[in-house]
Amino acid sequence: EAEVAQSPRYKITEKSQAVAFWCDPISGHATLYWYRQILGQGPELLVQFQDESVVDDSQLPKDRFSAERLKGVDSTLKIQPAELGDSAMYLCASSLGPLVGAFFGQGTRLTVV
Amino acid sequence: RKEVEQDPGPFNVPEGATVAFNCTYSNSASQSFFWYRQDCRKEPKLLMSVYSSGNEDGRFTAQLNRASQYISLLIRDSKLSDSATYLCVVNADEKLTFGTGTRLTIIP
């Protein structure tokens, strides 16, 4: 069964350092999402791509976060500099289109110390 | 008002019982609806889509009420393995918005 791949699974980083997460969506899925989930809350959308274009990044803290999907396939989410409040699970998801259900990767659990 | 609202629970239900969750949404132009299941410290997994006519998958039934802007999930004959957090998801303006989730524990 096709899966969304994410790496790393776990990341511990010091405050003010840079950190990057990678996501490879299910083959053929044009829509890619990055979500952040804090324990006890639902996932919150950070950025949404349609192919290589950003269609929604209204909730992305652009002073420190950036995301790209250069060839419309895999994607990278970067945080620089990391802050203590960035500790969370970062989830990547993909779907065939924006109107259908999305499938999630296993996530990257980030701890900022 | 939040875009998607759910009762966070927890719901503690005896094995074999029937349990139902509701979820309300604020955007009347929302186009598609889903229920996801999330186990502790795991990723959300798509449980089922919710159609206007309602749909059933085994012990699970999902319904949509557009007039009142809510969706529901019914679980019959609950199993211990149904213990999880159930997330309501609404698609509006081609964006998937998640509720905070309803935590369900099935008690032996």
Rounded to the nearest angstrom, the minimum Cα separation between B108 and chain A is 24
Q: How far apart are CA B48 and CA B37, in angstroms?
A: 9
Whole-angstrom distance between the N-terminal and C-terminal Cα of chain B?
37
Which chain A residues are closer than 8 Å to B99 by Cβ?
A: 42
| Residue of chain B whose alpha carbon sits nearest to that of A106 | B43
Q: What is the pLDDT of residue B36?
A: 97
Q: Does B99 reach chain A within 8 Å, measured CB to CB?
A: yes
- The β-bridge relationship of strands B95-98 and B102-107 is unpaired
Cβ atoms of A108 and A48 closer than 8 Å: no
Q: Which residue type does A108 have?
A: T
Q: How far apart are CA A4 and CA B34, in angstroms?
A: 19
**CB-CB under 8 Å, B31 with A42:** no
**CB-CB under 8 Å, B96 with A45:** yes
Cβ atoms of B14 and B106 closer than 8 Å: yes
Which chain A residues are closer than 8 Å to B49 by Cβ?
A: 100-101
Which chain A residues are closer than 8 Å to B89 by Cβ?
A: 101
What is the number of residues in chain A? Answer: 113
A98: enclosing H helix or E strand: none
Q: Does residue B43 register a pLDDT over 80?
A: yes
Q: How far apart are CA B70 and CA B76, in angstroms?
A: 20
Q: Cα Rg for chain A, rounded, in angstroms?
A: 13
Which chain A residues are closer than 8 Å to B101 by Cβ?
A: 41-42
- The β-bridge relationship of strands B11-14 and B102-107 is parallel
Q: How do residues A46-102 score in pLDDT, each as one tens digit?
A: 999 999 999 999 999 999 999 999 888 999 999 999 999 999 999 999 999 877 899
Q: How do residues B45-93 score in pLDDT, each as one tens digit?
A: 999 999 888 899 999 999 999 999 999 999 999 999 999 999 999 998 8
